[in-house]
Structure 1
Amino acid sequence: MGNADLRDLASIREVAFEELEGSVVAVDAHNWLYRYLTTTVKWTNDDAYTTADGVEVANLIGVVQGLPKFFEHDLTPVMVFDGEMTDLKADEVAERREKRERAEKRQAAAAERGDAVEAARLSARTQRLTDTIQETTRELFALLDVPVVEAPAEGEAQCAHMAATGSVDHAGSEDYDTLLFGAPTTLRQLTSKGDPELMDLAATLADLELDREGLVDVAMLCGTDFNEGVRGIGPKTAVSAVREHGDLWAVLAARDASIPNAEAVRRFFLDPPVSDADVDPTIDPDVEAARAYVVDEWGIDAGEVDRGFERIRESQVQTGLDRWT
């Protein structure tokens, strides 16, 4: 969702990696990459990931730092990239652009006055997935044999569809939209230390005494990435209102309120553009070729990625041993 209201309603529990071994996870690639990208920028000297031509490819460090977590716990990531942006999201994208532009101005001011810490923090906020970052990320995934799926539209919707149809075991995202798009289970905190969280759709609906349509109605009343919510309605009030009145339309009528494009937004959550995808869970990364691509071709500081590549190599050996014992 556009806000975190659904966090208060969703059934979420911490799950041990041991319970997930052997699972295939459809990962919202933009969401996953952006989190590593901003972390890399925040804590790494930009000389380590900026080419002689001034092109920033912090994503290459982020990918190498982030993938070992999957491999070391015998998880197969399937990276799902966003497709065409829906018109419904245009307002949100414009708002993000404005925030980024404001952060860029503040970053320049911080750098000018010599505040390196503040400049680095703001630099992380201004990161975006450039064409170069998109292309080099896909190329690195190919060398590491990580499956990639191109979504027709929203990556979260495609992840949810793949989980719902059984082509993967779980969706993987920090956002809550996978719940609204119908993912039976979503793994969260895949970019954090410690065990992940598991968000369960069936348990959420049972706890709230709603069906999926009702959950979408609740989300829309609170506000999503695609619509503003109704003033004065928070998550608990929204649940009560949908239970009492039956659906979004009845709640809006009772409150003499409206949501622009409500029918289109609701339909988008319940029947989003998605495609079927066959996934081969067998991964055989070419670590040496991937390292040469990152270090030799793109000039990334070897000290920033060598440990990550070593972890990938070690995890593949260990996983192979485990499967033979």
Structure 2
Amino acid sequence: MGNADLRSLAALEEVGFDEVAGSVVAVDAHNWLYRYLTTTVKFTAEDVYTTEAGEEVANLLGVVQGLPKFFEHDLVPVFVFDGGVTELKDDEVAERRAARERAEERKQDAEERGDAVAAARLEARTQRLTDVIHETTRELLRLLDVPIVEAPAEGEAQASYMAARGDVDYVGSEDYDTLLFGAPYTLRGLTSKGDPELMDLEATLAKHGLTREQLVDVAILCGTDFNEGISGIGPKTALSEIREHGDLWAVLDDRGVYIEHGDRIRELFLDPPVTDEYDFGTEISPDIDAARAYVTEEWEIPAEEVARGFERIESSVVQTGLDEWT
């Protein structure tokens, strides 16, 4: 379902950081990291995050720049990483790959005509989370003592499951699909400027008089990461149809249309592959010296590029007493 569609349905409100301070947040790592990766690449010279061997590790800059806001606002992040991609998402993955390839071609054209601004903007669109990015991100988080959970499939599904169990207080994601995965509360914009935005599942359901199953059905009618929507159906029409007919199947029968793998897509949201085999503490005792050496010496990021980020992490740990949390 398009972000705009789900946003138009979601119960959202701005909350102050003081209202969520002291909380544990399960962060959709792929979502968060990709956002910082593309932003870093867009606004940072390529030689800053490229090693002599040609490895690009803009992610290390993103982690050091993005983590401090959690600590400064007395939040413990638990990064939840994606596992395998479900086969039903193959089409979306293929489309994203094709979009990157198109952006790469346009970037090369921009470079050839000497348009550095356009080339820099398009460079951000060509980014993908490589094995090196995954490995170095996990190692940097380990050195900073930030908890990590490995999901069997979708990271946002695992994070939502952890929140629904009460093992974390919030999910942290820019995606709206956490509603469909059953996250009671999602915080958006955690590391953006200003205060975060709270998305409330129960308030969303009450607002529209829906069950969670019906909300998922509305999303499937509009289109999700796993399927295209029904032509001519947007969120308002989908809501009306589900209210009138009760569920996805009755709507499809009434319209005489079909959604391939509809039952499996519905199950992916309502009963996704998740694990309860995770264990993490909330004591944060980062090894700043080791983390700094890892970034600047092993991966050749100029020290001045990450100095302020590490200073903020070190200062916030002392100020908020994160290393004494239990």
Q: Scaled by the length of structure 1, what TM-score is found?
A: 0.98
Q: Residues 295, 225 of structure 1: CA spacing in aligned structure 2 closer, same or farther, 3 A cutoff?
A: same
Shift of 1:190: 1.8
Spell out, residue by residue over 1:233-284, the C-alpha distance to the aligned partner (whole angstroms, 9 max, x if none): 0001101110000000001111111111100000110000001133311111
Please name the residue that 1:111 is paired with: 111
Q: Residues 226, 58 of structure 1: CA spacing in aligned structure 2 closer, same or farther, 3 A cutoff?
A: same
Shift of 1:3: 3.9
**Mean alpha-carbon deviation: is it higher for 1-10 or for 66-75?**
1-10
Secondary structure at the counterpart of residue 179 of structure 2: helix
Is the contact between residue 3 and residue 175 of structure 2 (CA under 8 Å) also seen in structure 1?
no
Secondary structure at the counterpart of residue 26 of structure 1: strand
Q: Residues 321, 251 of structure 1: CA spacing in aligned structure 2 closer, same or farther, 3 A cutoff?
A: closer
Please name the residue that 1:317 is paired with: 318
CA distance in 2, matches of 1:152, 1:116: 41
Please name the residue that 1:7 is paired with: 7
Is the contact between residue 28 and residue 172 of structure 1 (CA under 8 Å) also seen in structure 2?
yes
Please name the residue that 2:75 is paired with: 75
Please name the residue that 1:53 is paired with: 53
Opposite residue 71 of structure 1, the aligned amino acid is F
Q: How many residues align?
A: 324
Does structure 1 residue 249 correspond to structure 2 residue 282?
no
Shift of 1:301: 1.2
Please name the residue that 1:270 is paired with: 270
Please name the residue that 1:185 is paired with: 185
Is the contact between residue 167 and residue 279 of structure 1 (CA under 8 Å) also seen in structure 2?
no
Does structure 1 residue 227 correspond to structure 2 residue 231?
no
Is the contact between residue 218 and residue 239 of structure 1 (CA under 8 Å) also seen in structure 2?
yes
Is the contact between residue 83 and residue 151 of structure 1 (CA under 8 Å) also seen in structure 2?
yes
Please name the residue that 1:38 is paired with: 38
Opposite residue 297 of structure 1, the aligned amino acid is E
Shift of 1:191: 3.1
CA distance in 1, matches of 2:96, 2:17: 34
Opposite residue 311 of structure 1, the aligned amino acid is R
Is the contact between residue 78 and residue 146 of structure 1 (CA under 8 Å) also seen in structure 2?
yes
Is the contact between residue 74 and residue 322 of structure 2 (CA under 8 Å) also seen in structure 1?
no
Shift of 1:322: 12
CA distance in 1, matches of 2:221, 2:292: 48
Spell out, residue by residue over 1:109-131, the C-alpha distance to the aligned partner (whole angstroms, 9 max, x if none): 10111111100000000000000
CA distance in 2, matches of 1:2, 1:81: 22
Opposite residue 304 of structure 2, the aligned amino acid is G
Is the contact between residue 79 and residue 146 of structure 1 (CA under 8 Å) also seen in structure 2?
yes
Secondary structure at the counterpart of residue 78 of structure 1: strand
Unaligned runs of 5+ residues in structure 1 are: none
Does structure 1 residue 20 correspond to structure 2 residue 20?
yes
CA distance in 2, matches of 1:302, 1:116: 25
Q: How does 1:68-217 map to 2 (within 5 A)?
A: 68-217=68-217
Please name the residue that 1:303 is paired with: 304
Shift of 1:321: 9.3
CA distance in 2, matches of 1:302, 1:49: 11
Is the contact between residue 6 and residue 219 of structure 2 (CA under 8 Å) also seen in structure 1?
yes
Is the contact between residue 283 and residue 324 of structure 2 (CA under 8 Å) also seen in structure 1?
no
CA distance in 2, matches of 1:224, 1:316: 39
Is the contact between residue 172 and residue 190 of structure 1 (CA under 8 Å) also seen in structure 2?
yes
Is the contact between residue 71 and residue 322 of structure 2 (CA under 8 Å) also seen in structure 1?
no
CA distance in 2, matches of 1:192, 1:307: 17
Please name the residue that 1:294 is paired with: 295
CA distance in 2, matches of 1:279, 1:206: 33
Opposite residue 138 of structure 2, the aligned amino acid is R
Is the contact between residue 35 and residue 191 of structure 1 (CA under 8 Å) also seen in structure 2?
no
Secondary structure at the counterpart of residue 135 of structure 1: helix
Is the contact between residue 80 and residue 149 of structure 1 (CA under 8 Å) also seen in structure 2?
yes
Please name the residue that 1:238 is paired with: 238
Secondary structure at the counterpart of residue 106 of structure 2: helix
Secondary structure at the counterpart of residue 180 of structure 1: coil
Is the contact between residue 36 and residue 191 of structure 1 (CA under 8 Å) also seen in structure 2?
no
- Percent identical residues: 73
